[in-house]
Amino acid sequence: MDRAVNTRVGAGAQINGRLTGKVALITGATGGIGLATAELFAREGARLVVADIDGGAVDVLAARLRADGAEIMGAELDVSAADQWARVVESTQRRFGGLDILINIAGVVDWGGIEDAEREQWDRVIAVNQTGTWLGMKTAMPLLRRSGSASIVNTSSVLGIIGSGAAAAYQASKGAVRLLTKTAAVEYATRGVRVNSVHPGVIATPMIREILDEQGDRQPDIVRTPMRRAGLAGEVAYAMLFLASAESSYVTGAELVVDGGLTAH
């Protein structure tokens, strides 16, 4: 597998302004899929709130995107903390006057199975991946409803659909995000907010790069993937863009799988 492939798919592509005039808040924005999504949304004309638990990395990203001409607000955010969500949403309203798009990407993983997982690790994974997604929707929803044509995209995983025999807390959290998304989609279908989930497969992000570097094309999930390669963060970002834009105006409660065919078996 060629590790030198540019993860910023479409970095030189024509800007179409698919998000011009929209305000988008992206969590987990400084690494992997979050970074690719922030860069793509900025190129497509969105006014952005880039949020991450790493405040220093947020400042660096915000400065870089701002230098490229984007209108950016950076925010340090632990998505498992309700008070921090309240602060970021309030700051978003003050800075931009509203919110049209919420992209919940922030997440953590623990590979322990049922017997191996420790309670502290379990609680942290559930707090970030599951509770953090709910808190984001709950806190941002008043602003999103005011938009009249808002979109929420929650990041689940193929491991929110199929079992792996490991990563018990991660799988539990991502399965919960999948159904949380669907129930929110039904609840807000006539209230101006669409809610969908994206389910990445094996993506070459920092979260799993050590495994990919060690095992390469022999990594079991890549062997099982019909396309026989890991995906790029930018390939997931384009799925986020479709669901965030008006092009998906009749799509809600859907699960968009980006996995090279892994779950097609």
Domain locations in the chain as residue ranges:
23-258
Q: Is 229 exposed, middle or buried (0-12, 13-18, 19+ CB in 10 A)?
A: middle
Using one digit for the tens of pLDDT, what is the confidence trace for 5-14?
A: 334 544 445 4
What homologous superfamily is domain 23-258 in, according to CATH?
Answer: NAD(P)-binding Rossmann-like Domain (3.40.50.720)
Q: Is 170 a catalytic residue?
A: yes
What local confidence, expressed as pLDDT, does residue 2 receive? Answer: 32
Element (H, E) at 128: none
Residue in 70, 75, 69, 79 with CA at minimum distance from that of residue 94: 75
What local confidence, expressed as pLDDT, does residue 205 receive? Answer: 82
Mean pLDDT of the chain: 92
Using one digit for the tens of pLDDT, what is the confidence trace for 110-120?
A: 999 999 999 99
What local confidence, expressed as pLDDT, does residue 220 receive? Answer: 74
The percent of residues above 90 in pLDDT, for the chain, comes to: 85
Low-confidence ranges of the chain (pLDDT < 70): 1-15, 207-219
pTM of the model: 0.92
Residue in 138, 133, 187 with CA at minimum distance from that of residue 160: 133
What local confidence, expressed as pLDDT, does residue 89 receive? Answer: 98
Residue in 17, 15, 13, 57 with CA at minimum distance from that of residue 34: 57
At a CB cut-off of 8 Å and minimum separation 6, what does 9 contact? 36, 232, 233, 234, 235, 237, 238
Range list of β-strands (E), the chain: 23-26, 47-52, 72-76, 101-104, 150-155, 193-200, 255-258
Please tell me the distance from the alpha carbon of residue 68 to that of residue 169, in angstroms, as a whole number. 39
What local confidence, expressed as pLDDT, does residue 3 receive? Answer: 32
